[in-house]
Structure formats: C-alpha cells, structure tokens
Amino acid sequence: MSPVNLTEEEGVDMQPVDMDLTCIAPRASISSQQTAQPGGAEQQTMRVYLRVRPFSKEELADDEDQGCVVIENNQTVTLKAPKGSATLKSSEKGIGTSLHKFSFSQIFGEEMTQSELFEDTVKSQTSDFLEGKNALIFSYGVTNAGKTYTIQGTPKEPGILPRVLDATFHYIGGRLYEGMDLKPYLRNDAQYLDPDQVKQERSAQAAIFASVKDECDSFGTSGGLGSLSSPPSPFPSSPLSTGQSGEAGSDQFALWVAFYEIYNECVYDLLQPHLCSKSKRRAAHRVCDDGAGNAYVKDLRWINIQTLGEASKLLQFGNKNRSAAATKMNQSSSRRQTIFTMKLLKIDGTTVERISEFSLCDLAGSERCNKTKTFGERLKEAGNINNSLLILGKCISALRNNQTDRVKSSYIPFRESKLTKLFQTVFCGKGRASMIVNINQCASTYDETLHVMKFSAVAKQVVQVIPAKPLESLAPCLVDRDGKPLVRNGVIDSQALESYLSDDELLDEEDEANMSLLPQNDLVNIIESLRTKLLAERRRNLVQEMEIRKEMGDAMLQQLMESEELRIRQIEEQKESYQEKLENTFEMYKDAIKEHAYQCAMNNLEDDYVPLDEFIAEQDKVEALKRKVTELESLKSGIGRDVCAVPTVDQSSQTQPSEATEAAGDDRVKRLYKEKCAMEKMCEDKQLLILSLEKRLIDLSQTLEKVRDGFLEKSSALEVLQKKCDDQAQSMDDLMQQNADKDQEVESLKKELAKLSQKSPVQPKTKRGLLANIREAVNSPRSSSPGRKLRKTSKAAHS
C-alpha cells in the first residue's frame, strides 16, 4: 500500500466570528464552544454531531465492512478510502489523500442509544425551546445513513422528536391551555379564533386522529417512550419537568405542530386530509414573507396537540402522506425533506406572551444520480434534493466566509431554496441550530459519506450569536382575520375584537370550506357583496391602470420629443462641421495646386532663364555686328572693284608703276581680307547664338504650354471636388427631408394620443392642462424648423 497523508479537515486555526450579520460583535478567538458576548449575547460555533450507524446483516454479507470509518475518540474520526472508491483512485494518481480526519462536537458510535444521543445533543436545545428560544435540528447524511431513525426512531427506540415532545409535555404538566382559540399566525404571531373556528379546528384534529386510531403507536408511548413518560421522567433532576422553572404560576402553554415536506422545491402539507383519488394532485403551499423578513409557509395546517399520543398520531398521519420513492439503494428511502415544527405558546390569560419554535428537519439523502440509478422523475427529485442541499452548503460556506472576512462580505443565497429560506432567521441568530450528521460505514457509499463529512466540517466553523433577549424581537402579535392586532400594549382592543367577531362578510379559505353550512340566502348575500366588492375593485384597478397608462404615455411623448430635438441638433452640428471640413479641404487643395504649379514652372524655367537686360544687350550686339558685316561686305565689293580697276589703269595709263604703291595695295587687300574673314566668322558665331536663343525661346514656350496644361488638369480635379461637395450638400438636404417626415410622424402620434386622451373616461382637468402645456412647450422648438431650413438654404447657397 502506498504511503498516505493524513489531512485534518477541520480548520482549527480559523477565527470564527459572530453569525448575526447585522450585529457588530467584537472578533474574538473562540477557544471553547460557547462564549459570552457583550450585552449578554451568547456566541458559539454551530454544534455538529456525528452518528455512525451499525452495519445491517445484509451489508455485512455484502462485504461492506472494510474499516472505512475509524472513531479515534469521542470527537475525532478518520475515514479510510476503501478499494474501488473514487477517493482511493484519485489518491493513487497523486490527487488528494486516502485518509481524512474530521472532528465533531461529539461522535456517537454504533453502540450509542437513542436516549444517550438525546441527552448529549438535543436536550439543551429542548430547554431553550421551553424557555422561549427557537431551535433547529438538521439530520444530514447520505441515503440509508440513519437520519429518520435518529429523528423519529422506532416504537422501541424512539428518536429525538418523540423525546422533545415528551419533554415538552412534562414541562407543561398541568398548565396546558385547552382553549384552542389562540393559534400561531404567520411566522411569529398568534391569531385569536372565534368559537366557529375553534369548532373547525377540533373537527380537523378529530378527523386526523380518527384516521390513525388503529395504527400502532410510533412513539412507543406504551413501549420505548412510555417508560419515559411515566414517572420517573426523562428529566428527573431537570427544572423542565417540575414546571416550576421560574415561570409565573398563572402561565399556560399551548402546543401546535405542523408537519410538511419539501419535494422538488414545492412545499406540501403532510397534515392535510388524504386525497380521495390518487390522480388528484396535492396543492403546493407558497413560502411567503411576514413583512419582518421571516419566511413562513402560507396556509400550512397547524394542529393543536395536548398529549404525546396525539403527537404520535399526527406523525403517523404525516408519514402516511409521505410518498417514498423507491431507489436501488434503499427501498423505503424517502425522497423528501420532511420538517416537523412545534410552536409553544406561553399564554397569560388571553395574552400570548411568547412563542418559541422547534423544527426538526430530516434532510433527504444526497446520493449521486449514477449511484442510485435514477431516471426521469427520480432524476428530477435527486436534482432538487441535491440542489437544496447545495444551497444549504453554499449558505453555510458564505456565512463562514463572511465571518472570517467582514470586508468582503459575500451574498448568502438563503432565498435560492425553500429550505434555506424557511430557516434563514435561525441561521441569522434568531435561534440555535445544530446538525446531526448520520453516516453508515459501507464501503460502497464511501465517496458520498466523505462529501457529507467535508460539508459538516464547514458547518462546524459557523458561529452563531444568539441575542440575550430574543423574545423582544419575536414578541407575538395577536391579530384578527385581517391581520390587525387585537391586543395593544397588553390590553385587548375591544372595538377591534368586536368588529372582528361581527365581521362575517370576508371569507378566507377555511370559511370557504364550510360555506355549505350557511343558509342559501346568506350565501346569495355573501356572493352579492363579494360581487360588488369585486366590481369596485375592478373599477379602481381600471382607473389606476388608465392613469398609469396616461402618465406613461405623456412621459414617453416627452422623451420622444426630447430625443427628436437632440437628434436634429446633432445632425445640424454634424452638417456644419462637415461643411467646414469640406471648405477647409477645398482651400487646402487649391493652395496645394497653386504651389505645385508654381514649383513646376520654376523648376522648368530655372535652367533656361536669361535676364531680359542681358537678352536685349545681346540682341543689340547682334544688330551692331550685323550692321558691321553689311558695311564690311559693301566695303569688300568696293575694294574688289578698285583692285580690278587699278591694274587696268596701271597697264593702260602708266607705263612705269612704282613698286611701293603695289606693295601698299597688297597689304591693304590682305588686311581687309583678313578682317573680312574674321567678321564672317563672328557673324557665323552670332548666327549660331541667335539660333540657340531662338531654340531656347521655343523650349520655354513649350514648358509654359505644359504648365498651362497641368493647371487645366488641376482645375478639372477641383471641379470634381466641387461636384462632390455639392452631392454632400444634397444628401444633407435629404436628411433634413427625412427629419421633416419624422416631424410629421410625431405630429400624427400626438394626434393619436390626443384622441386616446379624449376617449379616456377619467381625465383630471389639471393633468389635461399640464399635458397641453407640455405639448406646447415641446411643440414650440419645432416651430423654429423653418428658421433652420432658411439657415440651411442660405448655407447651401453660400457654399
């Protein structure tokens, strides 16, 4: 076997704080189970007891005994995961451990008797109950773990419920209030019953007792409990049994009980008469709030009991009504959560001084669906059972978390299940709660048992603060049928009582049940009066409804108009901003194009640019040179003529030409010829220069042409942009047109509303004036729409 780690499940180092979330009590480490609080409040951790039931013969035969549960001492128990359990498999994979250690307020092994269990667990709560405090006991555990055995027991071995009842009757002794005319009402109040109602109570009670008179005595008053009932009592030395526990001698006590079950999140009364036909469904009862935050079961049947035998019969009657769903695990297993509640009324004369409540809750088994092979309706049952247990667990965890961390107080889901809703007040300090965890030692249910143990470990850390004087807040109030108090400051309000007793026109459900007893005329009268009341009520409702509708219509219209105004304003603003943006963009483009064109022109001109002065000077030079060339050419032709004429003259007229004259002529010709050549060359150069300048001029004009083309292109792009702008303006106009349509729609709505208002039979004048004012006020800004249109057209024209 692989080595195992032992886990301590209970948070021993946890510092519990008070449970009453509204009361600010100082945080203190709780070393003992119970400590005194300032102001006399009592603080203690929730008592959680463990009861381990013995194996049955069948279980031993099925090899269920694998030593899973080892009781170390009267407060500590160790659970060892058996072969095949999910816990063992997980621990072998390294997840978790196969050994779990738990501690409880007290552990009761299989050898412990019912009587010992009662003495060590519930007896103190019974004392509380008899002294006017509330008490709640849960029996919790997997199915077939012994919860019902612990609560109800067997005729031979009565459980804690018969023992609490037995103790209560011993306490009451000869001070039983036999009147039966003071009955519990809502959660903490009492109701005064008139003689007819008392008669009905008695007949209902008799009907129940009659139906079980031949049944065996489940409390064993003649057996198990009988030995306790007859002297010596179970509280021989207890002040409870003496009836002298500091109570005033004139006080009397009345005990009323209710027995109900929660099945699939519906509350059913187990003390209702048996149903005639099986097909007829039982009525589910609502869980309501009494206005002071206390939940109660509406129309639950409370039966007055005066002996232990009567209590036993009631329990039998209720048990008969319970339907046990067969599951594979336990053929007689109940799929319900059954609650037996006792209310003890302390009566002084005709005044109810206090009411205390003791509830014993047998929680349904919490087995998993696959284990129990549950299907269909059974699966739904299991889901609801597990859900209410889950919510109970969540509430307990949240309570504990809130106590440990007051800053981050989390939501406690009391209202998410009927069970927790009903007992919220007890958890919140208006009573003491304790839990008896029942487990069997079967290997096959080990995983579920472990889950139960973990849950109870959390419950044990919850601390309850019980106020020193819980009765002050729970002081019962005696009321009539309408719920109006009949007793004020301890004195009966005789007027209220008289009107209550004479008031016979209202019928509650119990009256309805006995309507057949009334004469026909009375019935007709009652029906007539009820019809009149109904009509008046309907008329009142109709008027109220119309007023509400009108108010809502006005409010809606106002809202509609406001939102319309807002929308128009937003559109206007958007339009303006778009136009501004467009104009800015257009200007930007224009500047950019101009800049671009200028840059292009400058780039093209830069290389070919010749300043004008230079150009003119150059032209002058060219002109001068041309003139010189012309002169020289004319000179050259003149010289040629001279040259040809000179030899002719020399040869014909002079027989002896001088040599000096000939030489001088040659030099001059040569010089002139040279000059002529130079001039010709210069002319050619200048010609070339002129040609190049002309070429430059042509290039320049071409560049200018290009720039002009570019400019024209940009201009056309600008035109496109302009067109887009115009389109946008057009779409804005369309939007405005849509707005106008909406205006018309609003107008038609207003007209419709006005028509409706005219049709309405009740129209207070002041309100009609108000509506007209509102409409006018709302309409007035609408009249400015032409102004806006004017602005819009002027803008459009501008743009």
Tell me if 143 is assigned to a ligand binding site: yes
Closer residue to ligand ATP (CB): 45 or 148: 148
Q: Are 342 and 241 in contact (CB under 8 A)?
A: no
Closer residue to ligand ATP (CB): 303 or 392: 392
Q: What share of the chain is helix, strand, coil (3-state, %, to 5)?
A: 55, 15, 30
Question: b/e map of 639-666 (b: 16 or more CB within 10 Å)?
Answer: beeeeeeeeeebeeeeeeeeeeeeeebe
Please enumerate in sequence order all residues whose Cβ is within 8 A of that of 190, keeping only pairs 6 or more positions apart, or say none.
182, 183, 184, 345, 352, 355, 476, 477, 478, 479
Closer residue to ligand ATP (CB): 212 or 329: 329
Q: Are 356 and 344 in contact (CB under 8 A)?
A: yes
Closer residue to ligand ATP (CB): 155 or 476: 155
Binding positions for ligand ATP, 159-198, rule CB under 6 A: none
* 8-state DSSP, 516: G
| Contact status: 148 vs ligand ATP (CB under 6 A) | yes
Output the smallest distance, CB 364 to ligand ATP, in A.
6
Tell me if 35 is assigned to a ligand binding site: no
Q: CA-to-CA distance for 260 and 255, rounded, in angstroms?
A: 17
Tell me if 365 is assigned to a ligand binding site: no
String marking each residue 404-443 x if it binds ligand ATP according to CB under 6 A:
----------------------------------x-----
- Determine which helix (DSSP H) or strand (DSSP E) holds 71, and give its type and residue range: strand 69-71
Closer residue to ligand ATP (CB): 53 or 301: 53
Choose which of 122, 342, 364, 683 interacts with ligand ATP (CB under 6 A): 364
> Could you tell me which stretch among 19-27, 147-155, 424-432, 755-763 binds ligand ATP (CB under 6 A)?
147-155
Total residues binding ligand ATP (CB under 6 A)? 16
Output the smallest distance, CB 440 to ligand ATP, in A.
7
Closer residue to ligand ATP (CB): 123 or 170: 123
* 8-state DSSP, 153: B
| Contact status: 141 vs ligand ATP (CB under 6 A) | yes
Output the smallest distance, CB 73 to ligand ATP, in A.
19
> Could you tell me which stretch among 38-46, 327-335, 608-616, 663-671 binds ligand ATP (CB under 6 A)?
327-335
> Could you tell me which stretch among 72-80, 82-90, 145-153, 736-744 binds ligand ATP (CB under 6 A)?
145-153
Closer residue to ligand ATP (CB): 136 or 679: 136
| Contact status: 334 vs ligand ATP (CB under 6 A) | yes
> Could you tell me which stretch among 146-154, 340-348, 492-500, 748-756 binds ligand ATP (CB under 6 A)?
146-154
String marking each residue 556-595 x if it binds ligand ATP according to CB under 6 A:
----------------------------------------
Closer residue to ligand ATP (CB): 212 or 364: 364
Q: Are 449 and 443 in contact (CB under 8 A)?
A: no
Output the smallest distance, CB 148 to ligand ATP, in A.
3
Q: Looking up tokens 């919860």, which residue turns up?
A: 147
Beta-bridge partners for 7: 100
Q: CA-to-CA distance for 359 and 423, rounded, in angstroms?
A: 9
Q: How many CA atoms lie within 13 A of 318 on its CB side?
A: 29
Tell me if 146 is assigned to a ligand binding site: yes
Tell me if 144 is assigned to a ligand binding site: yes
Residue 1 corresponds to which amino acid? M
Output the smallest distance, CB 229 to ligand ATP, in A.
22
| Contact status: 143 vs ligand ATP (CB under 6 A) | yes
Q: Which two tokens stand for residue 561?
A: 């108009």
Closer residue to ligand ATP (CB): 130 or 439: 439
Question: Which residue, 387, 454, 459, is CA-closest to 427?
Answer: 459
Choose which of 16, 82, 96, 146 interacts with ligand ATP (CB under 6 A): 146
Closer residue to ligand ATP (CB): 330 or 401: 330
| Contact status: 54 vs ligand ATP (CB under 6 A) | yes
Q: Are 165 and 171 in contact (CB under 8 A)?
A: no
| Contact status: 149 vs ligand ATP (CB under 6 A) | yes
Please tell me the total number of residues recorded for the chain in this structure: 799
> Could you tell me which stretch among 141-149, 394-402, 443-451, 570-578 binds ligand ATP (CB under 6 A)?
141-149
Q: Which two tokens stand for residue 734?
A: 């369309």
Q: CA-to-CA distance for 747 and 762, rounded, in angstroms?
A: 24
Q: CA-to-CA distance for 2 and 477, rounded, in angstroms?
A: 65
| Contact status: 365 vs ligand ATP (CB under 6 A) | yes
Neighbour count for residue 446 (Cβ, 10 Å): 27
Q: Are 430 and 473 in contact (CB under 8 A)?
A: yes
| Contact status: 333 vs ligand ATP (CB under 6 A) | yes
Q: Are 382 and 337 in contact (CB under 8 A)?
A: no
Closer residue to ligand ATP (CB): 147 or 792: 147
> Taking the CA atoms of the chain, what radius of gyration do you get in angstroms?
56
Q: CA-to-CA distance for 499 and 480, rounded, in angstroms?
A: 9
Q: Are 601 and 707 in contact (CB under 8 A)?
A: yes
Tell me if 148 is assigned to a ligand binding site: yes
Q: CA-to-CA distance for 257 and 129, rounded, in angstroms?
A: 14
Beta-bridge partners for 663: none
Binding residues, as ranges, are 141-148
Which residues in this chain contact ligand ATP in the complex, by CB under 6 A?
53-54, 141, 143-149, 330, 333-334, 364-365, 438
Binding residues for ATP, as ranges, are 141-148
